[in-house]
A and B are shown apart, each in its own frame.
Chain A
Amino acid sequence: MTEIAPITTRTVDARGSFCPGPLMELIRAIRESQVGDVIAVYSSDSGSRTDIPKWVEKAGHRLVELVARDGYDEIVVEKRR
């Protein structure tokens, strides 16, 4: 059994936004989403690279992946509750 790679439901482009802007935008997107939805956040803010995974764990969601792209991070989160 291999885990099926989740398909991104929604992309939030928060590049250019400073701490805690990307997290604010992710929270808004999660609130508007259904459980099981997968949200990709684009962030060029270095603080969000640590803050968003910590928030995701605290809030009971799942960090699917955090990938360093060219000049920004792609942080993928599955809404779990």
Chain B
Amino acid sequence: MDESLNLVLFSGTDDKLQAAAVLTAGAAALGRPVNIFLQYWALDAFRATKIGGDHGLAPEAGAAGRVAVDALARAGQATWAETLRQAKSLGGVDIEACSLSMDLLRLGTLDLDPLVDGVEGVTAFYLNAGDGQIVFI
């Protein structure tokens, strides 16, 4: 089961990033390579100055969803950034920023949290993904 998992992260809300982090950790635990490509608002959430902050939830969460997510956080759920750090410590997880989104958000590599390994274009992402499945979140 060495087929890669390739995640395109577009949304920058904490719930979607949490879901992506859990998928990443599970794949990494099984030894599957994981390539993550950060676009738009997901990339914005990986700014060094923002990664520890509150990035809100997807609209469908509603007020009840907010309460549920907050309760799990208070109960000690690791943040998505921490889960990604754990996944990266297992090895095989590569996180790249989309170069176009870097331009859009006027970011340089020094603006990004060290979780991000580098900046690449979409073609490089596809080449890294090979024949593996691609999931857009």
Seen from chain A, the residues whose Cβ lies within 8 Å of a Cβ on chain B are 16-21, 23-24, 27-28, 51, 55, 58
| Docked CA distance A58–B1 (Å) | 10
Seen from chain B, the residues whose Cβ lies within 8 Å of a Cβ on chain A are 1, 22, 25-26, 29-30, 72, 75-78, 83, 86-87, 89-90
| Docked CA distance A18–B25 (Å) | 12
Given contacts A24-B86, A24-B90, contact A18 B29 (CB under 8 A): no
| Docked CA distance A18–B72 (Å) | 9
* B29 in contact with A55 (CB, 8 Å): yes
| Docked CA distance A20–B77 (Å) | 10
Cβ contacts under 8 Å, B75 to chain A: 16, 18
* B89 in contact with A18 (CB, 8 Å): no
Given contacts A27-B29, A55-B29, contact A18 B90 (CB under 8 A): no
* A23 in contact with B78 (CB, 8 Å): no
* B78 in contact with A18 (CB, 8 Å): yes
Question: What residue in chain A is nearest B30 (Cβ atoms)?
Answer: A58
Partner of A24, one of B25, B30, B72, B77: B25
* A24 in contact with B76 (CB, 8 Å): no
* A17 in contact with B29 (CB, 8 Å): no
- Nearest CB of A to B83, in Å: 8
| Docked CA distance A19–B89 (Å) | 16
Partner of B22, one of A16, A20, A27, A28: A20
| Docked CA distance A16–B75 (Å) | 7
- Nearest CB of A to B120, in Å: 27
* B76 in contact with A16 (CB, 8 Å): yes
* B29 in contact with A21 (CB, 8 Å): no
Cβ contacts under 8 Å, B22 to chain A: 19-20
Given contacts A18-B77, A21-B78, A27-B90, contact A55 B30 (CB under 8 A): yes
* A17 in contact with B76 (CB, 8 Å): yes
Cβ contacts under 8 Å, A19 to chain B: 22
Cβ contacts under 8 Å, B1 to chain A: 58
* B29 in contact with A23 (CB, 8 Å): yes
**6 extra interchain contacts, Cβ-Cβ under 8 A, other than A20-B25, A20-B29, A58-B1?**
A18-B75, A23-B25, A24-B90, A27-B90, A51-B26, A55-B29
